[in-house]
Structure 1
Amino acid sequence: MSPSLHQSLLMVSDLDASVAFYRDIVGLEPDEIADGNAEFDTGRCTLVLEEDFDPEVLDAFGLDEPGDERGRGVIVAIDVDDPEAVDTVCERAAEAVETVRMEPTDVEWGRRMALLSDPDDYTVEISAPR
Structure 2
Amino acid sequence: MNVKAADFVFQTVSDFSTSVPFYRDTLGLEPETIDKESGWAEFAFPPTTLALGEASPQMPFTPGESGSGVAMAVDDVETATKELEDDGVTILMDPIDSGVCHMSIIADPDGNPIILHKRNDGTSGRVDPFL
TM-score range, shorter chain: 0.7 to 0.9
Equivalent residue in structure 2 for 1:104, among 91, 95, 98: 95
Q: What is the CA-CA distance between 1:2 and the residue it aligns to?
A: 5.8
Structure 2, unmatched stretches of 5+, are: 121-131
Distance (whole Å) between structure 2 residues aligned to residue 114 and residue 49 of structure 1: 22
User: Match of 1:124, as an amino acid?
Assistant: I
What TM-score results when the alignment is normalised by the length of structure 1? Answer: 0.77
Aligned residues: percent identity?
Answer: 32
Normalized per residue, the structure richer in helix is 1
Structure 1, unmatched stretches of 5+, are: 59-64
Residue 78 of structure 2 corresponds to 87
Distance (whole Å) between structure 2 residues aligned to residue 32 and residue 26 of structure 1: 16
Determine whether 1:34 maps to 2:35: yes
Give the secondary structure class of the aligned counterpart of 1:16: helix
Aligned residues: 117
Determine whether 1:6 maps to 2:7: yes
Equivalent residue in structure 2 for 1:66, among 61, 78, 84: 61
Distance (whole Å) between structure 2 residues aligned to residue 75 and residue 117 of structure 1: 9
> Runs of 4+ in structure 1 displaced over 6 angstroms?
none
What TM-score results when the alignment is normalised by the length of structure 2? Answer: 0.76
Q: What is the CA-CA distance between 1:119 and the residue it aligns to?
A: 1.0
Provide the alpha-carbon RMSD of the alignment. Answer: 2.0
Distance (whole Å) between structure 1 residues aligned to residue 64 and residue 88 of structure 2: 21
